[in-house]
Amino acid sequence: MHKLLTILGLLLPFLLQAQIEQWRGHNRDGIYNESELLKEWPSEGPELLLKVEGIGKGWSSAVIANNTIYVSGMIDTSDILTAIDQQGKIIWQTYYGRSWNKTFSDTRSSPTIENKKAYLSSGMGEVVCINTTSGNIEWSSNVFKNNEGETGTWGVAENILIVNDKVVFTPGGKGTTMVALNKETGEEIWKTKSLEDEIGYVSPILVEQNGIQQIISLSARNLFGINPINGEMVWTYDYLNIDDAEWGEGGAVINCTSPIYHKGELYVTSGYNHTGAKFKLKSDLSGVEFLWKDEILDNHHGGVVLVDGYLYGSNWINNNKGKWCCIDWKTGETKYETEFDTKGSIISADNLHFLYTERKGMLGIAPATPDSLTIASSFRITEGKGQHWAHPTIKDGKLYVRHGEVLLVYNISPLIPKRGNI
């Protein structure tokens, strides 16, 4: 009995740990664990439940936790976090940092929420913890300035990763690559060695294999793995020079898409005609082995999803155009490359793809099949202004779509009683 109580005591903190709610779902892979969703919509789209204005300009996504909607945005030159109840009323708004002050300054960092605390970064690299009940800032750390971070053209676009007792952020530059802070106090726990590289626009992922955890991400040039316990840079791979392709837009490699991990294998992709590639992680996570590369799915910044052995997403033809693709996870073989308006973001749930195109704001659903892209229903998002770059979110049968300063919430489940448009 004493031994059992001891084991339970050790497990209790993990059993009580709240589910982390974050950008692109629980695993940052664009897959939402939802079921019994509508398979088609009326021509005008599904029922609009909420329309919320005044959230600030941004391309960040809504995150739902504690029965509350949280979304970041830019008002004037500051990033703010807004809390919204399920009736669409703004509960509080908190200014938490300086927005990016150059090209494309709208807010990109979505909140990562655990145990009634929201963690996020400003466009200038300030990492903050905000109490989700009161809206008060519990701590703030100017990680970017303190570590002489180095951005590319478009500033900071990272979504904070929580790993056990740490929050993880990537300042890049000559001093370090990645930093871990105590999630309760904001004090630094470790920093990695520097890859002497600019940051990408990637949000890191956490993988676990054979009982070992590892943080995996991309800088501007490198794919790398980090030990989350001590910040050791375990391995790196020169992703910039994976081939000799002539990339678009001045030869830039713009890494915006988080890696996809599945059963010991890793897929990475970036836009501008740069080659996507798949790797096998060593069993002890000490390095990677190159498997194959593809030249079709060069995803810009809309993300990719892995469903039943196939990768789906849009590719880059130019900054205004792209097609929707499917490739085989095992071999990299192209299954289809087809048009639906233009490139955009993709998420999946209930064996359905939800496609949100960046040019016209077309929102469509399609069965998740490698045979072809067959749009079952689509409609156009006409509320809001600016580029349609925010990734949609699904939670409890509701689809959350952010366009500029407007958040729209749609009923996509037959189990939710119709309430009429608000």
Tell me, what DSSP letter sits at residue 18? P
Residue 418 lies in a domain: no
pLDDT at 18: 65
The CB density around residue 232, as the number of other CB atoms within 10 Å, is: 13
Please count the helices (runs of H) and the strands (runs of E) in the chain: 2, 33
The 3-state DSSP class for residue 2 equals: helix
Supply the pLDDT for residue 211.
96
What is the per-residue pLDDT across 88-123, written as a single tens digit (0 to 9) for each? 999 999 999 999 999 899 999 999 999 999 999 999
In a domain, 349, yes or no: yes
CATH number at residue 222: 2.130.10.10
Is residue 267 one of the residues assigned to a domain?
Answer: yes
| pLDDT tens digits for range 7-56 | 444 444 444 446 899 999 999 999 999 999 999 999 999 999 999 999 99
Structural domain boundaries enclosing 229? 21-411
Whether residue 15 lies inside any domain: the answer is no
The count of other CB atoms within 10 Å of the CB of residue 274 is 26
Residue 12 located in a structural domain: no
User: What is the predicted pLDDT for the residue at 9?
Assistant: 44
Q: Is 5 among the domain residues?
A: no
102: in domain:
yes
- What Rg value do the Cα atoms of the chain yield, rounded? 21
What dihedral angle (degrees, nearest 10) is formed by the CA atoms of 419, 391, 209, 118? -70
Query: Does the global pTM surpass 0.85?
Result: yes
pLDDT at site 152: 84
Residue 13 belongs to a domain: no
The alpha carbon of 35 is separated from its chain's Cα centroid by a whole number of angstroms, namely 21
374: which residues sit within 8 A by CB, 6+ positions away?
366, 367
342 touches 325 (CB < 8 A): no
Instruction: Work out how many domains the chain is built from and give that number.
Output: 1
Tell me the pLDDT tens digit for each residue of 157-192.
999 999 999 999 999 999 999 999 999 999 999 999
Neighbours of 65 (CB within 10 A): 23
So what's the pLDDT on residue 16?
Answer: 41
Are 197 and 149 contacting, i.e. CB atoms less than 8 angstroms apart? no
Q: Which segments of the chain have a pLDDT < 50?
A: 1-17, 247-251, 421-422
Do 192 and 178 meet the contact criterion of CB atoms below 8 Å apart? yes
